[in-house]
Amino acid sequence: MTEEERRQIEEKVAQARERIAEAAAAAGRRPEDITLVAATKMNDADRVRAAIAAGVDVCGENRVQELLEKYEQHAYDGCPLHFIGTLQTNKVKYLIGKVSLIESVSSLKLARVIDKEAEKAGIRQDILLEVNIGREESKLGIDPDELFSVTEQIAELEHVRVRGLMAIPPKPQPNQEKTLYFDRMSKLFIDISAKKYDNITMDCLSMGMSADYTEAISCGATIVRLGTAIFGARHY
């Protein structure tokens, strides 16, 4: 990568930090309570290192294969790593011990596999439950109506610890409130926190991407996941 590209990433991370701080202040929150995850898909190890040097809190990867390749290249050294993409049960074993948080746990079945693999490794794996807050056919995630019963069952697994909720909401229609789905997530988060399940610490609400992270913060997001806002457009 060129020096110019490095400078751009540095600038964009600084800009994102500023906007996060403004949105937090406007909501009466502290900027340090919001974790900035760089969504690093399609960006090579050098660009990932540039984002880490620029001060992102966490790297987030979508694909297991891509994560393993960059992990081998020591792309994430010195930075916590989250998994944020679609996860097949047969790939769980590759993540255990490498990621501090699996954000995209979209079913009880997947949670059970993570529990089993974490037990083998002798660890307890932190996870977030991904909610299909827009009830979209095309998306994975736990149906909001089933969230409480699923959470109760996951709470019984001894080798996972639920740390909160994650969502990739649809874009609201022009006639809908811009924060419609973020508000719904926030309400679910508060309601589940109030239940005080054993083994569950609800301290993470992961929502908001490049296009809408300031709105997400105003609705209580504690983790925002930024790709294009840091790295520019992805070239598929």
Residue with smaller CB distance to ligand PLP, 141 or 157:
141
Are β-strands 35-39 and 58-61 bridged in parallel, bridged antiparallel, or unpaired? parallel
For residues 55-90, one letter each, b for 16 or more C-beta atoms within 10 angstroms of the residue's C-beta and e for the rest, the string is ebbbbbbbebebbeebbeeebbeebebbbbbebeee
| Binds ligand PLP by CB under 6 A, chosen from 94, 210, 220, 232 | 210
Stretch 100-139: interaction string toward ligand PLP, x if CB under 6 A: ----------------------------------------
Stretch 45-84: interaction string toward ligand PLP, x if CB under 6 A: -----------------x---------------------x
Shortest distance, CB of residue 15 to ligand PLP, whole angstroms?
13
The residue count of the chain comes to: 236
Q: Is 188 helix (H, G, I), strand (E, B) or coil?
A: helix
Q: Does 86 bind ligand PLP (CB under 6 A)?
A: no
* Helix, strand, coil share of the chain (percent; to 5): 45, 20, 40
| Binds ligand PLP by CB under 6 A, chosen from 6, 17, 19, 41 | 41
Shortest distance, CB of residue 195 to ligand PLP, whole angstroms?
26
Residue with smaller CB distance to ligand PLP, 49 or 225:
225
Alpha-carbon dihedral sign for residues 91, 231, 140, 188: positive
Q: Does 214 bind ligand PLP (CB under 6 A)?
A: no
- Provide the phi-psi class of 112: left if phi over 0, else alpha when psi is between -120 and 50, else beta: alpha
Q: Does 149 bind ligand PLP (CB under 6 A)?
A: no
Q: Does 225 bind ligand PLP (CB under 6 A)?
A: yes
Residue-wise DSSP of 142-157: B-GGGHHHHHHHHTT-
**Cβ-proximal residue to ligand PLP, closest one:** 227
Angle formed at CA 171 by CA 11 and CA 67, multiple of 5 degrees: 55
Residues lying near ligand PLP in the complex (CB under 6 A)? 39, 41, 62, 84-85, 168, 209-211, 225-229
